[in-house]
Amino acid sequence: MPASKSPARLGAYREAIEAARLAYGAGQLDRCFRLLERAHILGQPWFVPHTVSHWLMLKVGWRRRDGREVRGQLLRLAAGGVLSLVGWLPEGNTGGADVSPTKPMPLPADLAVLCAQRQ
């Protein structure tokens, strides 16, 4: 079944991205990254939101001087958005370099509701 592209899901993505940007600006990098993981799950069905979540994860990795995260996000930036376009999305994948980019993961309960909604 194709991923849900409901307006509620997109709205939740936007809220998570905004909260992540605020956390980043405040230097709260751990909180920022957790919010970006949620945004990644929510934004996967769309090219731009999916790519933005990886771009911001790259920025966090760079700021942390985390070479593994930077390399992982560069790889994901090269391929992730394209995978959104073709609909190949591992549900629940949080998008960080600490997990395989092809590994489906359990959805958090609150996100499962949004990800299941249809128009």
Per-residue model confidence (pLDDT) at position 19: 98
How many angstroms separate the CA atoms of 104 and 87, rounded?
14
Per-residue model confidence (pLDDT) at position 33: 98
Kindly give the confidence (pLDDT) of every residue in the chain, 119 residues in length, as a single tens digit, with 9 standing for 90 and above: 457 889 999 999 999 999 999 999 999 999 999 999 999 999 999 999 999 999 999 999 999 999 999 999 999 999 877 788 888 889 999 999 999 988 999 999 999 999 987 65
What DSSP letter does each residue of the chain carry, written as one string?
-PPP--HHHHHHHHHHHHHHHHHHHTT-HHHHHHHHHHHHHHHTTSHHHHHHHHHHHHHHHHHHT-HHHHHHHHHHHHHHHHHHHHT---TT---STTS-TT---PPPHHHHHHHH---
Torsion of CA 87, 92, 93, 98, to 10 degrees: 180
Interior/surface letters 15-25, b for 16+ CB within 10 angstroms, e for the rest: ebbebbeebbe
